[in-house]
Amino acid sequence: MAIPLYYSFRNLWTRRLTTALTIAGMALVVFVFAAILMLAEGLQKTLVETGSYDNVVIIRKASKSEVQSGIERGHASIIEVQPETALGPDSRRLIAKEIVVLINLPKRGSDKPSHVVIRGISEVSMKIRPQIKIAEGRFPKPGSSEIMAGQSVAKRFKGGGLGEILRFGMRDWTVVGIFDAGNTGFSSEIWGDAEQLMQAFRRPVYSSVILKLRDSLEFDNLKQRLESDPRLTVDVLRETKYYEEQSEMMAKFLRILGLSLTIIFSLGAVIGAMITMYAAVANRVGEIGTLRALGFQRRSILTAFLAESLLLGFIGGCAGLFFASFLQLFTVSTMNFQTFSELAFSFSLTFEILYQSMAFGLIMGFVGGVLPAFRASRMNIVEALRAS
Amino acid sequence: MFIIKLIFKNAFRHKLRTFLTILGMTIAILAFGLLRTVVDAWYAGVAASSASRLVTRNAISLVFSLPISYKEKIRQVEGVKLVSAGSWFGGIYIDEKNFFANFAVEPKPYLELYPELRLSPEHYQAFVRDRKSAIAGKKLIDKYGWKIGDIITLKGTIFPGNWDFVLRGVYKGRDKGTDETMFLFHWDYLNETMKKTVPRRADQTGFFMTGIRHPELASEVSVAIDKLFKNSLAETLTETEKAFQLGFISMTEAIITAIQLVSFVIIIIIMAVVANTMAMTTRERMGEYAVLKSMGFGGRHIAGLIFGESLVITSIGCALGIIAVFPVADIFSTALSTYFPIFNITKVTIYMDIGASIVVGVVAASFPTYRSVRIRIADGLRRIG
């Protein structure tokens, strides 16, 4: 016969202080565990959403990122005529020759400078990236000193807001629009006319050529042809792959940090649970003896104590997740080591993280409770009854 | 004396529980120490920077270069001792995973600016004489098993192509705070090659490193340099090496703040664990405290016993944690040398460890003490378990 769950619950309730402290410890561990997973997920989500599978990024061979890359005008025109490129509604090729540089901008509030990506775009740049919409103002006029800023830049950097003026490359640039790029890396960028920016920065080369594929399956053909073209020295990547590689180092860093922290933290919390459960067993030797004398089996005792410690883990997990879910309101902005540019992303809670964290809490409860529960179930009836 | 003996006896009455609590404390102090060291490692570049070195770079941002002709103009500024051009090369050794800092510099002035990079006279001569040569830090050479005379190929990311260098020397750091994972080669080699391959990018440099006569001149000289190039095609931004490094760090501030927060969270977790142990201990001993009280011992004595016991547990854990942190940090520094070339445990970290253990001990004991001191004798004697 099983001992009712209510027994385990009441036991926890009786030692409220101890229970609360153990749960607090576990909740903190689950909180940290969930927070790190949410951060890594947020980073990944931002970068995955930034790229589109059907878009192809062409950069100079081995340059790894658009900022370090350079593609001569002549080379860009060779790439421009590839037959795999999709056509727009006005039957113009969906191919954008872009220039990407970093500029130093002071942040609002702290005034600390940080690197912001400024991207010179062509007219089709918006068509290739349908996830980007103008939120306020208008699209900058081609051939003018007008720019538009991503929402994240507009919010966090001085001079990024609508109607404000930024000075760089010996010119004043007016922000005439704010664009909404959702949760993508483009939110942390400023866009302007490519030709104008090339003039201002005295940099007569493009950084990258981006094109939309006519048929997704033709990627390998295109890659093979361009990379083996003796006139060109380029790397051809799918946009999704490109952005994934941009964050590899950062993601790896978060993973290592997260994993080692979680292991260390959970050791602490498991020890806490173990102490609590051993004490719960030690305090109740007489009670256990009585239960055994009443006819409850060893297995029932084992289950009851395990249930008690799993309950600790469960409540701890719920509390930790409850507080972690508030993290979704925060946005983290930091420099990506690989690109040296500022990137904003937010904590993101998914169902997977939800049940991973819950499972983690329960496992901590289980590991902490299993030894004490065994001790309780292995007690000799007569000795246990005598102990009190 | 007697009371200390009693505290120790009390602490080890429940061997398993005390053992577990000490273990928890050890792990927490270990983790705390490591996290503080990670934060220190982040600031290692700032700690190693000198007040008498200035960095001049393009005002737009680091990705823009400066004409090499600026060098002579900077040298003429009052207070400037010597100038070296330098470029971040960003080359990749075999695979992107093998990251290390590689710079193109002018060997003579650069090594004079950085006396902390110690090179034997033979290595120095060999490096200066051969334009295709390079030197590297001791740690880097040990990591990849390079030998003097080896040809090392870096794949250029910013400067296209495969670049061969002959390793002519090893430098050692003057102290533990010096980065021994850098790879330095001739700026001339870079420039001459660029003249041939991409003439547009020749005679350009990433930054100028300037040595000044006195650290006090830093702000005057910086202003004077920037004024020279005001309203030119490449405006400059000059700041002290320290400010330059700090600027970099402030961009990753979010991560540092997170690590710092997390290091305090672990202290709070262990606080809960120790407080739990103390709460259980005192609950079991309510009867004893009542007996002590009826014998005439005051609340202060009982408080002393509980605080003493708590501090004994946390200090043992802390001592073990501090002993363990050194070997563990060694493992970490080898595993993470790509991210943190310098990974040293500072004295401050050890003091913070000790401070944390005292705080945990005191906080964990306070609530149980409050309950134990307040208990009435009759209630305490009546209480079972």
Range of the domain at B108: 60-234
* Cα–Cα distance, B352 to B29 (Å, whole number): 10
Same domain, A108 and A85: yes
Q: How far apart are CA B310 and CA B316, in angstroms?
A: 10
Number of domains in chain A: 2
Contact A334 B251 (CB under 8 A): yes
Shortest distance between the Cα of A214 and any Cα of chain B, in A, equals 30
Residue B385 has pLDDT above 60, yes or no: no
Which of A232, A261, A276 delimits the end of a domain? A232
For residues A142 and A15, state if they share a domain. no
Share of chain B above pLDDT 70, in %: 99
In a domain, residue B295? The reply is: yes
Q: Do A60 and B92 touch (CB under 8 A)?
A: no
Domain endpoint, select from B234, B265, B289? B234
Cα separations (Å) of B364 from A299, B78, B271, B312?
36, 61, 6, 12
Q: Looking at A205, A232, A259, which one is the last position of a domain?
A: A232
CB contact under 8 A, A101 and B60: yes
How does residue B384 score in pLDDT terms, banded at 50, 70 and 90? low
Return the residue of B nearest to A281 by Cα: B385
Same domain, A289 and A358: yes
Residues of chain B found within 8 Å of residue A104, distances taken between Cβ atoms: 59-61, 237
Task: Tell me if B243 is assigned to some domain.
Answer: no
Out of B234, B265, B296, pick the residue that ends a domain.
B234
Which is more confidently placed, B171 or A47?
A: B171
Q: Count each helix (H run) and each strand (E run) in chain B, helices first.
A: 15, 12
Task: Show residues of chain A in contact with B250, CB under 8 Å.
Answer: 110, 112, 114
Residue B247 within any structural domain of the chain:
no
Q: Which of A25, A168, A333 is nearest residue B254 as measured by Cβ atoms?
A: A333
Same domain for B214 and B169 = yes
Of the three residues A232, A259, A286, the one that is the final residue of a domain is A232
Q: Residues A209, A292: one domain?
A: no
Counting one residue from chain A and one from chain B, the pairs whose CB atoms sit within 8 A come to: 146
A226 and A343 co-located in one domain: no
Does residue A226 share a domain with residue A103? yes
3 state DSSP class of B336: coil
Residues A206 and A108 in one domain: yes
Contact A233, A50 (CB under 8 A): no
Quick one: which of A76, A202, A196, A206 has its CA closest to A142?
A: A196
The tokens for B46 are 């700032």
Amino acid at A30: V
Tell me whether residues A271 and B231 touch, CB distance under 8 A: no
Indicate whether this complex's ipTM tops 0.90: no
Q: Above 70 in pLDDT, residue B62?
A: yes
pLDDT at B380: 80
**Residue at B53 is within a domain:** no
Spatial distance between the Cα atoms of A60 and A41, rounded to a whole number of angstroms: 30
Closest residue in A to B57 (Cα–Cα): A104
Give the integer Cα–Cα distance in Å for A278 and A276.
6
Q: How many domains does chain B have?
A: 2
- Considering CB atoms only, which of B157, B277, B367 is closest to A275? B277
Opening angle at CA B40, ends B55 and B134, nearest 5: 50
Same-domain status, B85 and B170: yes
Task: Say if B244 falls within a structural domain.
Answer: no
Which residue reads 């401070």 in tokens?
B355
Which residues of chain B lie closer than 8 angstroms to A331, CB-CB? none
**Residues in chain B closer than 8 A to A249 (CB atoms):** 99
Residues B36 and B68 grouped into a single domain: no
**Residues B61, A115: C-beta atoms closer than 8 Å:** yes
Shortest distance, CA A275 to any CA of chain B (angstroms): 6
Q: How much is the pLDDT for A338?
A: 73
Domain presence at residue B241: no
Query: Cβ(B184)–Cβ(B136) under 8 Å?
Result: yes
Pairing of strands B53-58, B236-240: antiparallel
Contact A278 B16 (CB under 8 A): yes
User: Is A271 in Cβ contact with B367 (below 8 Å)?
Assistant: no
Examine residue A55 and state whether it is found in any structural domain, yes or no.
no
pLDDT score for B149: 93
Which residues lie closer than 8 Å to B66 by C-beta, 6 or more apart? B56, B57, B58, B204, B205, B206, B207, B208, B234, B236
Residue A39 and residue A123 share a domain: no
Most B-contacting residue of A275, A342, A371 (CB-CB within 10 A), to test interface: A275
- Tell me if A61 and B200 make a contact (CB, 8 A cut-off): no
Pairing of strands A234-238, A55-60: antiparallel
Q: Given A63, A249, A268, which is nearest B27 (Cβ)? A: A268
Residue at A57 is within a domain: no
Mutation target among B36, B88, B95, B158 for the A interface, most CBs of A within 10 A: B158
The radius of gyration of chain A's CA atoms, rounded to the nearest angstrom, is 30
- The pLDDT of residue B108 is 94
Residue A92 distance to chain B (closest CA, Å): 32
What average pLDDT does this structure show over B89-117? Answer: 91
Is A242 contained in some domain? no
**Interchain CB distance below 8 Å, A21 and B252:** no
On whether both B128 and B168 belong to a single domain, the answer is: yes
- Alpha-carbon span B197 to B275, nearest angstrom: 69
- The reply to whether B202 and B72 lie within a common domain is yes
* Position A131 in a domain: yes
Residue predicted with more confidence, B204 or B341? B204
**Are B118 and B156 found together in one domain?**
yes
Q: What pLDDT tens digit does each residue of chain A (388 aa) get?
A: 678 888 888 888 888 888 888 898 889 889 988 988 888 888 888 877 888 899 999 999 888 888 888 899 999 999 988 888 999 888 888 999 999 988 888 888 888 888 889 999 988 888 899 889 999 999 999 889 999 999 989 988 988 889 999 988 888 999 999 999 888 889 889 999 999 999 988 888 999 999 999 998 999 999 999 999 999 989 999 999 998 888 777 777 777 778 787 888 888 888 888 888 888 888 788 888 888 888 888 899 899 999 999 999 999 999 999 999 999 888 888 877 777 778 888 888 999 999 999 999 999 999 989 999 998 888 888 888 887 5
- Contact between B69 and B52 under an 8 Å Cβ cutoff? The reply is no
Task: Tell me, yes or no, whether A238 lies in a domain.
Answer: no
The amino acid present at A19, given as its one-letter code, is T
Quote the minimal CA–CA distance from A332 to chain B in Å. 7
A340: left (phi over 0), alpha (psi -120 to 50) or beta: left
| Per-residue model confidence as pLDDT tens digits over B276-321 | 889 888 888 888 888 888 888 888 888 999 999 999 999 999 999 9
Give the gap in angstroms from C-alpha A17 to the nearest C-alpha of chain B. Answer: 8
A340 Cα to chain B: minimum distance (Å): 9
| Chain A residues in contact with B96 (beta carbon < 8 A) | 64
Q: Is residue B211 part of a domain?
A: yes
Mind telling me how many Å the CA of B75 is from chain A's nearest CA?
25
| Same domain as B229, residue B93 | yes
Are A149 and A108 in a shared domain?
yes
pLDDT attached to residue B286: 85
Residues B6 and B103 in one domain: no
Domain check: are A187 and A255 in the same one? no
- As a whole number of Å, the end-to-end CA separation of chain B is 30
pLDDT bin (cut points 50, 70, 90) of residue B355 is very high
pLDDT of residue A335: 78
Residues of chain B neighbouring A337 (CB-CB closer than 8 A): 252
Residues A227 and A93 in one domain: yes
**Which chain A residue's Cα is nearest to B371?**
A17
Whether residue A239 lies inside any domain: the answer is no
From B207, B234, B261, give the residue that closes a domain. B234
Beta-carbon contacts of A90 under 8 Å, excluding residues fewer than 6 positions away, are none
Host domain of residue A148: 62-232
Does residue B148 fall inside a structural domain?
Answer: yes
By the 10 Å C-beta count (0-12 exposed, 13-18 middle, 19+ buried), A239 is classed as buried
The candidate with the shortest Cα–Cα distance to A327, out of A351, A345, A352, is A345
pLDDT in tens, B126-161: 999 999 999 999 999 999 999 999 999 999 888 988
Same domain, A219 and A252: no
Task: Identify the CA nearest to A331 among candidates A31, A42, A82.
Answer: A42
DSSP sequence for B61-72: -TTS-EETTHHH
* Residue B182: how many other CB atoms lie within 10 Å: 21
